[in-house]
Every structure is written in C-alpha cells, then in structure tokens.
Structure 1
Amino acid sequence: MRDIALLAILLWIIFEAFRRPWIGILGWTWVSIMNPHQLSWALRTMPFAAAIGGATLLGVLVTRGRRDYSQSREGVVLILFMMWISITLPFSMVYDDSFELWKRVMKIDVMILLALVLLHSKRHVMLLAWVLVISIGFYGIKGGAFTIATGGSYRVWGPENTYIEGNNEVALAVVMVIPLMRFLQLQMQAKWGKLLLTMCMVLMASAALGSHSRGALLAIAAMTLVMWWRGKNKFVTAVGMVVVAGALLSLMPAEWWERMNTIKTYQQDDSALGRINAWWMAWNLAKANFFGGGFMIWVPQTFAIYAPDPLDVHAAHSIYFMVLGEQGFVGLILFVTLFTMTWFTAGSLRRQGARQPETKWLSELGGMLQVCLAGYAVGGAFLSLSYWDLPYNLMILAVLGRRWLDRKEWLKEKPEPVIALPAWLRNWFRKKPRPQALP
C-alpha cells in the first residue's frame, strides 16, 4: 500500500511538471534529497529523479509561465565551476569512474540553474524551504526518537544508496536543516505549530548526537555560536541552549563520550590520521597537476604516488580537500567563492530585510541561511559532501530572496493558493445556492 501511494505521488509530480515546471523543480528536489523511493520495496531502482527532471525540462519548452534568466553572481560562479569540472574531466586519472560521477554532478547543477530560472515568488521560497525540511526532517525526527529510546547506544544512519547514507553525512544534513526549521517556525502564527517544530528541532539535534559524528558535534557548536551571537537576548538564549544541551548530552552513553574525546587526541586516532594522510595526498596531487586528478582519485594508485603513507587509503572526508584533489586549486577557489558569496548575500538579506515589516521574513531567512552555511563550512571540513545538492539549494534560497527584495515583489504579488484547484472544482465551490420558490 505504501508503494502504491508513493507511486501515485511521483506520477502526479511528473504529470504536473509538464504543466507547471516549478512543481517539477520542487518534486525533483524532494526525490533527490530525501530519496523516498529508497524506503519502498518495489520502486528502489526506478529512475524517478530522471523522469521528473526530463518532464520539467520539457515543461519549460512547452509552457509560458514566468521565467527569470537574470544572472546572479552565484549563478555565474556555479556555471564557471561546471565549466571547469568539464575541462578537468579529460585529465582524470580514473576516467571511467570520473565520467560517471561527472554526469551525476552535472545533472544536479543543471537542475540548480533551472531552479533559479523557474522559482521567483515568496511562495516558491517557502515551499522550497519546506521541501528541504521535510526531506531531511523525516530522517532526523525518526533518528532522534531512536536515539532517545535507546539511550544513544546505537548510531543513526542515513538512507541506503544516497549521499547521506553514512552516519557522519546524515548528521551534517540534519544539523544544516535545523536552522531552516527555525525559520519556518518564525513564520507561523499557531502556537501548536510552533510547539511542534520546537519538538522536531530537539529530536533533530538528538539524531545528530546519536550519529556519533565528531564533525557534526563541531558543526553544532559553530551553529550554536552564530545563533547566540545573532540573538537579541543573549543571556536568556544562552541559558536555554545550555539547558537543552545538558538534557541531550545526559542521554549519551560512555562510548559516545569516549569517541568525542578523541577530538583532543587525534594523534592517537587511526581514523583522524587517515584523513590527514588523505588531505596531504590531495595537496601534493594538486601541486603536481594543474587540473587536479578528476573525480574518484581516492584509490591506492594515487595514494602510492602522492600520499605520505601510501598504504593508508582513505576518502577525502573534507569538502575542501575533496575539491582540491579532484579539481585542483582553480576548482577549490571557485567552490569556496560560490559559498562565500552565498554567505554575504544571506547577510545582506538579514540586514536589509529588517528595515520594513513586509521584508522581515527575508531578514529571518538570511540569518538562518548563514547559520546553515556555518554548519556546512565547519562540519563539511570533515566530510565528503562537496557536490551534494542541499548546500546548493541554500544558495537558491539566498538568490531568490535577494531578487525578491531588490524588485520589491511584495508590491506586485497577489495571494494565491499553494496548489491551485482544477477549474471545475473552483467553480463548484463558487456556486451560489439556488433561490427557493415561495410557497
């Protein structure tokens, strides 16, 4: 029954993508981030993301909805980054595997650029934020409940066959989405909704701790510091954070504390030393090869040439060293520039959006996006999530918010339903009762 319901939803998204491509963008983001078909029995191997993406592209060609082809600085840098990874592809050391990952990355980036063209309204921004929160929140809330029920004795893992399958990866994803959940909470009026999202955020934080990820712990610390610094009542905020942190940390078992303490003694930790060895390999490879080594260089043959310890083969476990080794210094500069620009764009939203009531929501969005990016910058330093699409969706939110603010869209937009009803159904609701004949 679950598979049938999921199949019906996905088929509806594909159909609607022809008529309203912006729905295809949201549907593709949901499938790409959450991978709901991986939770089914019969739909796991079906290419739903490709089907939705193809329907969206076709819908762009055959429909006449609003388009925005104006280029933001973030969009220009993303295009340059796509061009650069295409230039480096022929120089890949492991070409076959690199070509497969190149195709995957290019599909994601093309859809990101298409989102910048099709999404434009406040409604689109809010819906995209909800899609991201629901996609990761599903695993975070479930993982948080599991952590509390088991006392943190077992690790939280992500969905199989996805970017966030590992405990470290799903932890960073959960951490990055908590500020977006807070942004949506600020837009709510109902007290029960605010309370529900508060409970969800606590469960999400529990899931991040329950992953036993040291990188996630550092990301939480960085994000908490940014949120505290941005808060108005710093003393009350600090007290609240300490109380919540104390309650959650008291649940964690002794083995969790032992693993976290290895942050101080990384010289004695084989995993940490393996990552450092991989980072040196990436550095040496980038110095020797202007175009980098291409995708999928984390194999014994490259470590044998460039690593200090050729026998200790590890994945990059760092968004920075991953891009450095695979795309060289030029690729790393473009990658860092993209998210640095996104940070400053979000900061301008936070400052300028606070000037008038109609744009206050943009101020709250910009502030929370900066918290998300702080988590990605710190937690990503220890994880291989350079090409995953969630950070790029944060860039979309920042760019759309900047456009909305610059063009004073609040003076133009009219309130409309989230998903319009069919015409015959709207007419049915508008029908007036027939006058009854007098006796």
Structure 2
Amino acid sequence: MRDIVLVLFILGSVPFIFKRPWIGAVLWAWISLMNPHRFTWGFAYDFQVAMIIGGSTLLAFVFKLKDVKAPPKNGAMIALGLFVLWLNITLPFSFNLEQVYGMWDKVMKIMLMLFVTSMLIIEKRQIQVLTWVVALSIGLLGLKGGLFTVLQGGENRVWGPAGSFIEGNNEIGLAFIVVIPLMYYLHEQVTDKRIRWALLACIAGSAAAALGTHSRGALLAIAAMTLFLWLKSPRKLLNGFIIVLLSPLLYFFMPEKWHDRMATIETYQDDASAMGRINAWQMAYNLAKDNFFGGGFQIYDGNIFARYAPDPEKVHAAHSIYFQILGEHGFIGLFLYILVGFMTWRLATRLIKQADGKNELRWISLFCRMSQVSIAGFAVGGAFLSLAYFDLPYYLLIIMSTMDRWLRGQQTASPVAMQMGNGTRPVRGMAATSERKTL
C-alpha cells in the first residue's frame, strides 16, 4: 500500500512542479535526504523518484525562467562554485578513471540541484518551507530511530536508509546530530503547542537515536553540538538545566556493550577499526603529496593502498571528510572544501549581526545561530566519517544564502513587508516574529 501511495504522490506532484518550480526543489531535498522510497517493500523501492522529481524541476526551471533568480552572491556560494569546479578539473587525473563516473555523476547531480534550489527559493515563505523539509526529512527518521532505541533498550544499532549517504550507523548518527539545532529553531518559531511538542519529541528521539547508532564519532559530535547549542541558545539557564538533566539519563540508559564500545575512544591503539582509519588517513596524505590533483573518487583499493599506505593490508575507507577530500582531490581540494565551511560560518555571522536587535528578523538570526551549532557538530563528527558530499550541510549554506538575498531585497521595504516576505503568508503554525517575545 505504501508503494502505491508514494508513487502516486510523486507522479501527482509533477503538475504542481511545472506550475511552481520551487516545489520541485523542496521535494528534491526531501527525496535526497530522507530517501522515502527505501522504506517501501515493493516496486517503489527502486522506483526512479529522484529522476522524476529532478527532471521535472529542471524542465520547469527552463520553462519558467521568470520565476528564477541568479544564484545568491556571497563568499560561501563562490567558494562552493570553485570547489565544484575543482572536482571536475581533477576528474581526468583520477587513478581509476573508468570507475569514478558513478560517484562523479551522483555528486554533480547533488551540486546542480543545490544551485538550482538557490535560484528557485526566493520568498520568505519558500525559505521557511525548505527549512522545515530539510530538518524533518532527518528529524522524522530520528524520531523513528529514537523509539527503536528505547524499545530495544539500546541493544541494537540504528541504521539509515539503504543505498544513501547515511545508510551506515555512523553516518545516520551524525545526520541526527546536525538536524537537532534546526529542529530547535523550528520549535522556537511556532506557537501551536501540538507542533512544539511534536518537535520536542523529534529532538529527543534524534538524540536517543544518535546514541543508538553505537557510533563513537556521533558521541564526540553530540558533545560538541551540545556545547555550541547551549552557547548559541537564547535561554541558556533553562536549556542548560535541561541538558544537565537529560544527558545522564540518556547516557546511563544505554546498555553495557555500548559503554564498552565508547570506552575504546581512549584506547584507540588497540582497536582495529580505529587503526584502520589512521592507516587510511596516512594513505590519503601520502597520495596527495605525490599527486597534485589527488587520486579521484575511487581510491580505496588494494593497489593504491599498496603504493601509499603504511600497512597495505588494511584497506579502509577514509572515514574523515578532511582526508577523504585530501586523498581524492589533493591539497587544493581540501583547501576549497574547508573554505566552503569557513565562508558559510562567516555568512552566518554576518547575517546574525544584521538581524540582531530587529525583532522582525529574529527568524534569520536564530536560524544562523543554530546553523553554526550544526556546522560545529558536523565539523567534529565528520572528522571520523566519509560524508564530504552529503547534502545536509550544503543545504545550510543554500538556506542562509537565500535569506541573505531576501534580506538585501527588503532593505528598502517597510517593516511589515519585511516581516511577511512581500505579502506571502507564514507557514501554518509559524508565529509572526513580532508576536513572539524575545527569549
């Protein structure tokens, strides 16, 4: 039944996409992040949902150019463009050229749709809808995973959608951590008590699910995220009390085998998995030193490890966004990748300064603060995971860039027009910013 419902929904959305192309951009984010077709059991499991939504969006993009704006102009978007350009420059120099096109094609589709999204999401209401979809695409998985963790007593691991970037327990754990600040942002924007409680359930579920992945990287990331969440939250005393109260409860709820696994963080020298990662990091560094353009997307095989790894027998994925980019695209690639993150942080800081003290712009200020919390969590957790091309952190850049463009366009508008976004109505349940007290 769920197969039929999903396919009918996807096919039924096509006419709406051609009428309003921005809907296609939002649906692409949902498909790309949540992978809903992977939660079916029949013909929809391998149904080309991404191709239908992506293709329809691109066609609508061409047919309705009047609804399109140029990509936002800021340092972060320029850095992202340079990074994508470098990925294409390094392509011909890939070690396993005949094997890299599958991953290259996947990454380029993601990047293309990110830029298309930045050109279609224009009005305030569209930005809000995209934010809700991005956050809840992972947040609902967190609620599901949290319930599983509680019901199983934390004994069994939480896994992500099959065939996605976040299929592994480590990867889905980091995704849960990244969206917790975004759901906190949404919680602070609504007045409907039912929605607020539902968001709190998603936040608690995502925290429990992150622990339920049994991922050591996720534990480090959630510690960093929690610290930054407290620093960036508007109600430090209340949120600090909640964190102090809930953290021990979640920690001691987990079973003994979870604690035994987390304890190996201190004795990583005796852990085969940890040493395999370090071996892969050294391989990536040696490869980048020897090859200006890196080795390409597919460098994790015995032949390459035999040439560059200290222990050629331990063939291991990079398990680090930094060493992943370093090995695949060289030092220039790593510089551009870090530059994207740095400029995204700078963009958030600038928007916070512009919006602070203006109640009608609190929605921008709080989102940027929470995005910095998410970036901090991803920067720490990503040091131990191969998630350099995962869409979620890039969507933070896209959303903030569309906010920046919207704000520039509203600089000469009246406060009421700025608040309502050129006459558009806020998302149902979303409080007008001026109606909420500064917390």
Give the TM-score category using the shorter length.
over 0.9
User: Retained in 2: the 8 A contact 1:163–1:388?
Assistant: yes
For the 8 Å contact 1:20–1:65, the answer to whether it is kept is no
Q: Which residue of structure 2 aligns with residue 29 of structure 1?
A: 29
- 1:194-216 Cα distance to aligned partner (Å, 9 max, x none): 22211221111000000000111
**How far did 1:415 drift?**
2.6
Give the structure 2 partner of residue 4 of structure 1. 4
Q: CA deviation at 1:275?
A: 0.3
Mapping 1:46-125, distance limit 5 Å: 46-69=47-70, 70-125=72-127
Of stretches 247-256 and 76-85 in structure 1, the one that deviates more from structure 2 is: 76-85
Match of 1:182 among 174, 181, 184: 184
Mapping for residues 247-258 of structure 1, pairs under 5 Å: 247-258=249-260
Secondary structure of 2:396 counterpart: helix
Paired position in structure 1 for 2:244: 242
Aligned pair in 2 of structure 1 residues 10, 406: CA closer, same or farther (>3 Å)? same
The answer to whether 1:329 aligns with 2:338 is no
- 1:41-83 per-residue CA deviation (whole Å, 9 max, x = no partner) reads 1112222212211111111111254322143322222221121
Equivalent residue for 2:423? Answer: 414
- Which runs of no fewer than 5 residues in structure 2 stay unpaired? 429-439
Report matched runs for 1:390-409 at 5 Å: 390-408=392-410
The one-letter code sitting in structure 1 at the alignment partner of 2:22 is: W
CA radius of gyration, larger in? 1
Aligned residues: 419
Query: How many Å separate the matches in 2 of 1:80 and 1:161?
Result: 28
Q: What's the counterpart of residue 132 of structure 1?
A: 134
CA–CA separation in structure 2 for the residues paired with 1:236 and 1:82: 42
**Per the alignment, in what secondary structure is the counterpart of residue 138 of structure 2?**
helix
Q: Which residue of 2 aligns with 1:361?
A: 363
Letter of the 2:212 counterpart: G
Distance across 2 between alignment mates of 1:81 and 1:417: 34
Counterparts in 2 of 1:301-316, with a 5 A limit? 301-316=303-318
SS of alignment partner, residue 328 of structure 2: helix
* Alpha-carbon shift at residue 150 of structure 1 (Å): 1.2
Shift of 1:192: 2.7
Report the Cα distance in structure 2 between the residues aligned to 1:139 and 1:49, rounded to whole angstroms: 19
Q: Is the 1:93–1:294 Cα contact (8 Å) retained in structure 2?
A: yes
Distance 1:135 1:236 in 2: 28
- How large is the RMSD of aligned CA atoms in angstroms? 1.6
Deviation (angstroms), 1:28: 1.0
Inter-partner Cα distance in structure 1 for 2:39 and 2:51:
18
Return the letter of the residue paired with 1:83.
Answer: L
Q: Is the 8 A contact 1:108 1:389 kept in 2?
A: yes
DSSP-derived class of the 1:30 partner: helix
Distance 1:287 1:404 in 2: 43
Equivalent pair of 2:318/2:324 in contact (CA under 8 Å): yes
Checking the alignment, whether the CA contact within 8 Å between 2:124 and 2:424 is kept in structure 1 is no
Residue of structure 2 in register with 1:263 after alignment: 265
Structure 1 distance, partners of 2:405, 2:339, is 20
Q: Deviations over 1:137-176 (max 9, x none)?
A: 2221111001111110111011111111100000011111
Matched residue SS, 1:391 = helix
Gapped regions of structure 1 (runs ≥ 5): 420-439
Q: Could you tell which deviates more after superposition, 229-238 or 129-138? A: 229-238
Q: Deviations over 1:274-312 (max 9, x none)?
A: 000000000000000000000010111110000011111
Q: After alignment, is 278-287 or 5-14 more displaced?
A: 5-14
CA gap of 1:104–1:192, structure 2 versus 1, over 3 A, is same
Residue 226 of structure 2: aligned partner: 224
Shift of the 188–233 alpha-carbon distance from structure 1 to 2, 3 Å rule, reads closer
- Determine helix, strand or coil for the equivalent of 1:44: helix
Higher mean displacement: 299-308 or 17-26: 17-26
Structure-1 residue corresponding to 2:46: 45
Aligned pair partner of 2:149 in 130, 147, 171: 147
Helix, strand or coil at the partner of 2:217: helix
The 1:416–1:92 alpha-carbon spacing in structure 2 relative to 1, beyond 3 Å, is same
Aligned position for 1:383: 385
What is the aligned partner in structure 2 of residue 428 from structure 1?
Answer: none
Secondary structure of residue in 1 paired with 2:356: helix
- Equivalent residue, structure 2, for 1:433: none
Pairing partner for 2:170 from 156, 168, 171: 168
Displacement of 1:193 in angstroms is 2.1
How does the TM-score come out when normalised to structure 1? 0.92
User: Relative to 1, partners in 2 of residues 1:183 and 1:232: Cα closer, same or farther, differing over 3 Å?
Assistant: closer
Deviation at 1:114, TM superposition (A): 0.6
Per the normalisation by structure 2, the TM-score is: 0.92
8 Å CA contact 1:74–1:341 kept in 2: the answer is yes
Query: Aligned partner of 1:38: which letter?
Result: R
In the TM superposition, what is the alpha-carbon distance from 1:95 to its structure 2 partner? 1.1
| CA distance, structure 2, for counterparts of residue 145 and residue 315 of structure 1 | 30
Quote the Cα distance in structure 1 between the aligned partners of 2:268 and 2:320: 16
Greater mean deviation of Cα atoms: 267-276 or 37-46:
37-46
Give the Cα–Cα distance (whole angstroms) in 1 for the partners of residues 317 and 16 of structure 2.
Answer: 40
- Cα distance, 1:262–1:354 mapped onto 2, change above 3 Å: same
Amino acid at match of 1:46: F
